[in-house]
Amino acid sequence: MDMIDDARPAEQRWLLLIHQLPTKPAYFRVKIWRRLQGIGAVAVKNTVYALPANAETQEDFEWLLKEIVEGGGEAMVCEARLVDGLSDGQVRSLFDAARDEDYEALIKEARALSAKLVATTAQDESAELSGQVRRLRKRLMEIAAIDFFGATGRLSAESLIAGLEARIAEDKDMTEEQPQAVTNLVGRVWVTRQGVHVDRIACAWLIRRFIDPDAVIRFVPGKGYVPKAGELRFDMFEGEITHEGDRCSFEVLLGRAGLIDPALQPIAEIVHDIDLKDGKFGREEATGIGHLIAGVAMANKDDEQRIAQGSPIFDNLYQYFRTKRG
């Protein structure tokens, strides 16, 4: 009798974005292409882009799908396993090749900047080079966030940039102000999508820490939910408080609530960089906090538990930035 081999590796699941864009305006096509690059998707066919399947990548594709449809295009997202044609290994190699190309470009810039640092003695020029090193670190974080399978070029890029940083002293000061009291959002029932991750966990923390300590938060399906009277939807399609332009829901909620505490701003930047993966703020803390939140999500299926486990992370961040003043 033939025995079934149970030792076979688990199949890789993929998310596929299949889309069609309008021919005009041209800038919209460029915008969507840049967004695809920013979330790390690779083309497996002309209008078919892939990402490894998980909660974060699904959310990335869902937001992009919404953007495409609002711009007059057509799109759908599906989960798939590869049966014939491309193998899982071949698709992984597409991701690795794309990231290694990014790392190689970064390595060239780092080497050129290293030569400039050795040659310069002027204080003004050193300050300018310091800014360029921070830009390289920001770019490395952007690439690492979408390096799903561990491309080989990361170690070399990390080593070079760490060496540059070791030669540069940075001094950054921020003024501290007291947070404004918030009363206009008290007593509302807050509603968000099930399967909370960084943006929604951060929003829930902000609501209960600064807006309404007794706030009720409900978790509902992401699609088809009809809000009841008195409810506020956050980080949901067509929600009252959700992504606006290139701002994540946490940033929008900060503005809507009128919170001006300077210690909350770097937290907003960290949440933005983790959630949108565009490296807009280049917060060096984003990678570590992103891993912590991902661990919380993996260990807890219940949304209230995710918020309960994730909130102390933001409590500690808040205290850190109040103490650090920047």
DSSP class of residue 282?
A: -
pLDDT digits (tens, 9 = 90+) for 246-275: 889 999 999 888 888 889 999 999 999 999
Burial 231-270 (b: 16+ CB within 10 A, else e): bbbbbbeebebbbeeebbbbbbbbebbebebbbbbbbbbb
User: What does the pLDDT read at residue 74?
Assistant: 96
Compute the distance between CA of residue 163 and CA of residue 160 in angstroms, rounded to an integer. 5
pLDDT digits (tens, 9 = 90+) for 37-92: 999 999 999 899 999 998 889 999 999 999 999 999 999 999 999 888 888 999 99
User: What does the pLDDT read at residue 122?
Assistant: 54
Model confidence, pTM: 0.53
* Cα dihedral across residues 93, 97, 98, 102: positive or negative: positive
Lowest model confidence (mean pLDDT) among 102-116, 122-136, 243-257, 311-325: 122-136
User: What does the pLDDT read at residue 173?
Assistant: 34
User: What does the pLDDT read at residue 44?
Assistant: 93
User: What does the pLDDT read at residue 174?
Assistant: 32
Contact 157, 140 (CB under 8 A): yes
Question: Residue 169 pLDDT more than 90?
Answer: no
Provide the mean pLDDT of the chain: 85
Q: Which of 58-72, 79-93, 124-138, 152-166 has the highest mean pLDDT?
A: 58-72
User: What does the pLDDT read at residue 21?
Assistant: 94
User: What does the pLDDT read at residue 103?
Assistant: 93
User: What does the pLDDT read at residue 8?
Assistant: 43
